Structure 1
């Protein structure tokens, strides 16, 4: 059984970066997160949460609704239970957000509410589910199970309008992959990847939004492989649900997890290092390990950059 953990009486908004480079964590890589923690956060209504999510400046804001600690004779092998709500600046509730999960686990442990070496069972208000472990070295590992893929056909012209670039025609369609956040997944060559990256500022946002509505997805995940190993190596992810100013995501752990879990070139048990890019260059560093039966682990490091107490 698990029992509630007493969270701070004053609400705190913790800002940080997830999927940073562990060898140089302050070099500007990583995706911004905001974690809202306090004894009464679980009772907040939707309007209050949305107002705060608009003001944090993070692409996703994580609200700690409840935390319960392991209890019993075998407590060292049991999980903390973590209930979260994840909101974008536009008020959209997400089922899964790898960098938000990673940030929440890191913040709770750094603040002393959880102990390294334990696992977390994470549930979100939108129906997401994941497991997380925090090593004593500070790296967070997230465990997901990918969903059965959907296949989308006949959208090459829409993609060309979005990116102003001809992409390879695929008669077999493009997969929509998900571990809680569905993305249209597009494999491109290394040279096309370079062109895409340099042209991200000129994307057609309205076309992107229209395609997302049509396919009921949360963005487009584009990746290319290493020419020697054929393993996925570099990724770009774009979306319209965050708003025009946050169209290019800095880190997409859930998108990479879904892609790797379905990748025929990745062996079970194989560990990969994947780098995410924006127009200006590298933006995040992710570690992934493929398991059996669509299981996949995503790892990364996080840092805290600011604490703000709410009145």
Structure 2
């Protein structure tokens, strides 16, 4: 028998996949030209590419962003998470009203003298207990409806992380205002909700929308705040002011170094709020001979 000269039919080796050497590969990657088997073929604009070239190409693709620099939001998950946390907190509160509200409601004296700092945030996730009577149920219903109505739009405009920062700083702003100006125990997400009202106005102005409806919304709620007994105007207005300030930082940050400016601005607001609590005494001091009756909590 005589061997066939190189290059004649039947003598060339069948190419194999560079990732799976035991598999035949009759297709080459359009970018690197390495042979790839069917399992490694990735659709490209022309032909197929290998997994490594696809991953490398994705690195150079600009990720979708929200209007003001945050990541694009397909579903407002932060809004839904906040709704769930508030509702779950109210469920737990309903089961053990005295213990939960007394331990976690916002009250200036406990923050100042017992250093129960968590009250500055936890009070914003509680609401008037059913056992307090009056408009107790409407308290959480209105706040959750407002969060459901305007939260998703703001989250899509700002991005999830920035929206969460806005919500929490607004809640903290409301608590700090209560700390400085009120002796009454306070519960409710209203400070955060009013912060979203303020943000809705600022975002609308920045985008050139007609914001007269938002002005009416804010005005009506401010009137309600001062006309219905048992409402903490301090928490409402504190949240409104901080929400407007934080949203202004987020939407008016210059395009250059926008992320750094936005997060530095939010950090500055946080530091100012913390300093106000640490350096300033509460406006009215409470008597600490016992835990206040939760029936007197404001929203």
TM-score range, shorter chain: under 0.3
Q: Which has the higher strand share?
A: 1
The TM-score, its normalising length taken from structure 1, stands at 0.25
Q: Which structure: larger Rg?
A: 2
